[in-house]
Structure 1
């Protein structure tokens, strides 16, 4: 098996341009951008916030640094998933990185859905402005009243009524739905009865965000933080009518679409998490060399040498596993790639959390405060251990794949 994690030469130069823009243009504006969130309405962009974000996006687009996530597509750079991993890692080093280059979740996954499964009308109305970075979108799957880690439990009612479908129910953790630029939802719903096979009962439907009957109940908070103005919203649908043509591929195709969407999304999250771990390690090392206690640099105290070394080694192991999962994705066999995606979905957030936590410890009280980005990074990565399937579900998939090597029985 000839497994390669090498970047093609032309893409090395492209990556260097991305790295340079992140370090020299995006990171210097991070602190000012974050400070703007608490001015006025947290769910609207201030004039300065918009100026920073849209200005950076315009620079990236003008430089041709745009839509890297479109792997194996004539609309993007034609990067392999392995090559995109290096770009996503760099973008993960700053909270603004992914959006500046139009590589943000949940938009990337939604754009893939529109490109693969959408009608020409959907592509014109939604995909085109998403690819241009003019609007945002949300993906609505998780529900408050069922264990959504088993997606066969998804129960939002979606009933055909003439030329429409009528939706009733609630969704929560709808990432991006709080953003005032969010114009469209892709929603997982239940269209089939219990007489159908369990993976044929759910469908996906496209719902404009301003459709009557949609009510945002509240922003969900992660350890007391609402992640404004992006937001993860709790939403109620009451007799929401959507044209029947908005259903993707037809009734009962929800799981088919979900697997096409979630595989790339899971690995993109992991790539960015490795970038967050790298930034935390960098901050930890700088702190260890700058700060003194008991007459010595922090680096020379306690087990800090060992801690720094262990963080470096674990990041390297996680990166290699991520690249291996990406390589399997590039082979085009989703079933073969699935156990590897599950492995990295468990490993990458776990490693990133450990590194961020060690960095927090090195900073002391400042590490858990608003004076460093570490506390916010920790809450985001901790949430990632639940997003796109909790650790337990992915470990189950890894174990099943391992056990199947040794038995003909159904596992």
Structure 2
């Protein structure tokens, strides 16, 4: 395996890190206290700067207007952008738009690409992904109650979704709904494009997460589909292939997430080390960094971050070489390992900052409340562990071990 990085990518990552430090981190205090919409004018200015630097949409295909980076290359970019919650939005590779672009590019018709894909890549519109349901287990995408029934030349969609990320401010949703109820479980659902101004698409609320209500960037919306009618031409990919398409989306998406989480680890680790060196705790000038517990936290965090990073780069390399299906074990492994690494590192950094860590005077409290969900979405830790263990045990069936 080869994780070597070209000089071009090294230069790109350096440029992004410099941009994040100079242009985005200074905006974070405003981001933490203001409505996101009020920041859009200044963020649009930053996006224009990114386009001039030719760093726009790093993971999107070149023919769509992106940079066309490989998954491994984009992973390195995502790590740099993850150091600030504004990074992915300003460089236009944020979830759920990134995953929606990937499946539109792979499965969309020419008409769908013209209407949805091209303006999405250019940053003219936003999108959301509507799969998780209130009364169904989110980690099992074959269990859905939302239905899309054919009526004339239309689908009529009825169902109750939540955690439809970024629905507030989106122009269209990609909806998972049951179209073939008599088929086998993995062939029942389809993906359908639904403009959010369609009658029957009802945004009930932005779900408050740990006391903070989302906005059009961070929202996780509850949606009611009530006789929501769209043309059958809005079907994305073949009918009954919703589960298959979802797997194509989720595999690479987990690399994006994991590398973003490693960027959060990096930022939190920097803050931890700085605090350890400069926070005086005794009249004689001893600092937090002189304490063995703090030294253990720093050493453990460094080792855990490095290990998680190598695992993630290896998984990205495997997907680039062999595809997501052949890399399932690596994908499952990094999903729970990196999520837990991030949660531990952020928790240690927050603990080290004491009362300051609980405030929004640093970015740590934001990371703590928004990233705890990493161990739940895109498959809960326990589901990934169980799936991984089953595959490992199957590989030992019929083998003689001496």
Paired position in structure 2 for 1:209: 196
Give the secondary-structure state (helix, strand or coil) at the position aligned to 1:151.
coil
The alpha carbon displacement at 1:289 in A equals: 1.3
Residues of 1 paired with 2:365 and 2:18: CA distance?
25
Contact 2:262-2:309 within 8 A present in 1 as well: yes
Correspondence 1:383-398 to 2 at 5 A: 383-398=373-388
- Answer whether contact 2:64 2:118 (CA < 8 A) is retained: no
Q: Residue 276 of structure 1 aligns with which residue?
A: 264
Moved more, 143-152 or 76-85: 76-85
Q: SS of the residue aligned with 1:292?
A: coil
Correspondence for 2:234 among 246, 257, 260: 246
- The offset of 1:309, in angstroms, is 0.7
- Which residue matches 2:252? 264
Q: Which runs of 4+ in 1 moved over 4 A?
A: 71-75
Aligned match of 1:291? 279
Using the alignment, how far apart are the partners of 1:297 and 1:405 within structure 2?
Answer: 51
Residue in structure 2 matching 1:140, options 120, 130, 133: 130
- Separation in 1 of the partners of 2:249 and 2:62? 15
Report what 1:89 is aligned to.
Answer: 79
Match of 1:236 in 2: 224
Alignment gaps of 5+ in structure 1: 38-43
Partners of 1:346 and 1:391 within 8 A in 2: yes
Residues 64 and 121 of structure 2 are in contact (CA less than 8 Å); yes or no, is this contact kept in structure 1? no
Aligned to 2:14: 16
CA gap of 1:343–1:327, structure 2 versus 1, over 3 A, is same
Whole-angstrom CA distance in 2 between matches of 1:403 and 1:73: 43
CA positional deviation for 1:380: 2.1
Deviations along 1:93-147, one digit per CA (max 9) or x if unpaired, are: 0010001111100000001111111111111111111111111110000000111
State whether residues 120 and 126 of structure 2, in contact with CA within 8 Å, keep that contact through their aligned partners in structure 1.
yes
Question: In 1, Cα distance between the equivalents of 2:135 and 2:98?
Answer: 27
Gaps of 5+ in 2: none
3-state SS, counterpart of residue 59 of structure 2: coil
Asked if the contact 1:219–1:233 (Cα under 8 Å) also holds between the matched residues in 2, the reply is yes
Give the drift of 1:7: 0.9
Question: How far, CA to CA, are the matches of 2:30 and 2:120 in structure 1?
Answer: 26
* CA shift for structure 1 position 174: 0.7
Distance 1:324 1:381 in 2: 23
Aligned: 1:151 with 2:149: no
User: Does residue 1:58 correspond to 2:56, yes or no?
Assistant: no
Aligned residues: 396
Shift of 1:362: 0.6
Structure 1 residues 100 and 131 mapped into 2: Cα distance closer, same or farther (>3 Å)?
same
Partner of 1:223: 210
Structure 2 residue 98 is matched with structure 1 residue 108: yes
Query: TM-score scaled by structure 2?
Result: 0.95
Residues 379 and 35 (structure 1), Cα distance of their counterparts in 2 relative to 1, 3 Å cut: closer
Q: How far is the alpha carbon of 1:408 from its aligned partner?
A: 6.0
The farther-off stretch of 26-35 and 109-118 is 26-35
- In 2, the alpha carbon distance for the partners of 1:74 and 1:113 equals 13
State the partner residue of 1:186.
Answer: 174
Q: 1:72 Cα shift? A: 8.6
CA contact (8 A) 1:176 1:232 kept: yes
Within 2, Cα distance between the matches of 1:221 and 1:318? 30
Distance 1:25 1:214 in 2: 37
How far is 1:74 from its partner?
7.5
2:297 corresponds to:
307
**How much has 1:148 moved relative to structure 2?**
2.3
Tell me the equivalent position of 2:153: 163
Shift in Å, 1:75: 4.6
Taking a change above 3 Å as real, the CA distance of residues 261 and 408 of structure 1, as seen in their structure-2 partners, is farther
- For the residues of structure 2 that align with 1:91 and 1:201, how far apart are their CA atoms? 37
Corresponding position of 1:332:
322
Q: Distance in 2 between matches of 1:145 and 1:205?
A: 21
Structure 1 vs Structure 2 CA RMSD: 1.6
Structure 1 residue 271: deviation in Å? Answer: 0.5
For 2:265 and 2:185, how far apart are their aligned partners in 1? 39
| TM-score, L = length of structure 1 | 0.93
